[in-house]
Amino acid sequence: MLRKLTTLLDVSISYLMGESESEPPNFSAEALRDAPPSKTRRVPVVSWARAGVGGNFHDLADQIEEYLDSETHDPNAYALIIEGDSMMPKFEPGDRIVFEPNRQPQNGDVVVARLFENGHVYFKLFHLFGGTNEMVRLTSFNPAYPPLEYPRSKFRFIHPMHSLVRRWRK
């Protein structure tokens, strides 16, 4: 990777490693135009998730006519529009979040999680706990919202976040 990067940028490895005192390269418009394309794909925005009190997610299959470009490698990736204020100040209402359903969430990941029983969906921070990690704690950035705790078996799905696209509301 380092060799490819040095070729693309037309610099030495020592320059990239900070071992060289030479001047940084002057990238021309032609060099940037000829750079390899990024590996993005179109991801559908399928619904919304409430950052706060759980909302019902019954319309997940009904796609909104919106797509985002994302660098995710998950072929089943999708995006949701965030509503509510429990994840402020890091996430704002109207943000679009890309999720990867084929990746297992890790402690500290931001996730979308849906309960089996009532269909409520939460956009929160994920933490496993308990002797055999059988419990899930969902927490917010906004301290006004207390943590939620459920047995892991109560969830229909828990999908980790891949990326954020911020959309400013008008």
Tokens (6 digits) for 161: 């976040």
Please check the confidence at residue 60 and state whether its pLDDT lies above 50. Answer: no
More confidently predicted of 132 and 3: 132
Instruction: State the Cα–Cα distance between residues 70 and 63, nearest whole angstrom.
Output: 17
More confidently predicted of 65 and 129: 129
Please give the CATH number for the structural domain made up of 41-165.
2.10.109.10
Please compute the mean of the pLDDT values over residues 140-163 and round it to a whole number. Answer: 95
Please check the confidence at residue 57 and state whether its pLDDT lies above 50. Answer: no
76-119 tens-digit pLDDT: 999 988 888 888 989 988 899 999 999 999 999 999 999 998 88
User: Does residue 162 contact residue 74 with C-beta atoms inside 8 Å?
Assistant: yes
More confidently predicted of 63 and 69: 69
Assessment of whether the complete model's pTM goes beyond 0.75: no
Mapping DSSP to helix (H, G, I), strand (E, B) and coil, where does residue 117 land? Answer: coil
User: Does residue 101 contact residue 76 with C-beta atoms inside 8 Å?
Assistant: yes
Domain layout of the chain by residue ranges: 2-33, 41-165
